[in-house]
Structure formats: C-alpha cells, structure tokens
Amino acid sequence: MQGDDGGPSDDIDGVAETWRRDGLPEPLIAMLEVSKRAGRIAMLVQQAMRAELTGLGLTYAEFEVLTVLRREGEPYRLRPSELTRSAFLTSGGTSNVLQRLQRAGYVEREANTGDARSRFVQLTGDGLRVTERAMEASRVAHEEVMAGVPPEEVREAADALRDVLLVIGRRRFR
C-alpha cells in the first residue's frame, strides 16, 4: 500500500483509507493523521524510556517534572503552578507527582519569602543526579526510536509540528 504522497505507507494510512471510505472530508483526515502519528511517536519514545525510568524509580510524569526543574538552571526551583504549565500536567497531577518525588527525596518544598501564600519546589542533590541519569535515558531512547530517519527529515517534521502548535497550542479545552 502507498501513502497519499505515493511513497511507502504506515498503519495510519490504512486507517485513513477507512475514513475516506466512510466519507470523512480530506482536511479532517489530514488532521486525524497528524494527531495519530504524533501520538504514536510519543508513545514509542515513552515505551523506549519505560524500562530505564522504572529502573530509576520514576514514572514518565515524574521525569517530566524533574526535567522542567532542571531546565530552570540553578537553583532548579519553580512554583507548583509554573511546574504544572511547563510539564503540561493538571494541578492535581502535579500535586501527586510532587508528593511522590518529595517522598523519594528528589524535590523539597520551601517557603516563598516574597509571597507567604505560595511555596517553591526545588530539586535536591539526589534529584539532580537522578534527573541527569533520566535525561541520558531520554537521549538514548530518542536516538533508538529515530534511528534510520534522516536528520533533515526529523528537523522538517519538528518544524512542521511547531507551526501547527503555534496556531493551536494556546487553546484550552474542557
């Protein structure tokens, strides 16, 4: 089977044929293909990372929170609300993740001297070390998943998805 562009096809192309047969309009089919392929890539990367993260005692959500803190640079701290936005989690999800990370000794909460109503979450030394190991696992997983894809195609895909996210990324849905 060939894809819409005449090249090789993937599993999503087969599903798209069903959508066409069912009479879905082509613009909608293209949108569905983008979301299905992006979701599949994310799932493959997460699967590739799962064993290493499990070995480190982390879930993917915990990894995301730790890397958000790491990206901040020293002193590796943010308010919980900033973490929620940057890690793309719900506030309840962030709270649960932070409780687990605090029990593991990877983050600590400290008072915000500038605002008594809020607190900061900060990486501990152990948290920074486990984050570095998890980031290395992420690098390896991405390289394994993307092996064989020419770097220029990866760059083109990343740029195309950025263009899509710039239009739709700020929307909030219930």
- Counting DSSP H helices and E strands in the chain, the numbers are 7, 3
User: In the predicted model, is pLDDT for residue 113 greater than 80?
Assistant: no
pLDDT-derived band at 94 (thresholds 50, 70, 90) equals: confident
pLDDT(4) > 80:
no
Whether 70 shows a pLDDT value over 50: the answer reads: yes
Task: Say what the pLDDT of residue 89 is.
Answer: 81
Distance CA 104, CA 98 (A): 10
Q: What is the pLDDT of residues 44-62, one digit of tens each?
A: 999 999 999 999 999 999 9
Residue ranges of domains in the chain, CATH in brackets: 11-146 (1.10.10.10)
What pLDDT sits at residue 2?
47
Task: Give residue 80's pLDDT.
Answer: 87
Query: Environment class of residue 85 by beta-carbon count within 10 Å: exposed (0-12), middle (13-18) or buried (19+)?
Result: middle
Q: Cβ contacts of residue 18 below 8 Å, gap of 6+?
A: none
Structure tokens at 63: 């990894």
Element (H, E) at 81: helix 80-87
Candidates 128, 134, 130, 146; CA nearest to 44 is 146
Q: How many CB atoms lie within 10 A of CB 122?
A: 18
pLDDT tens-digit readout, 133-170 = 999 999 999 999 999 999 999 999 999 999 999 998 87
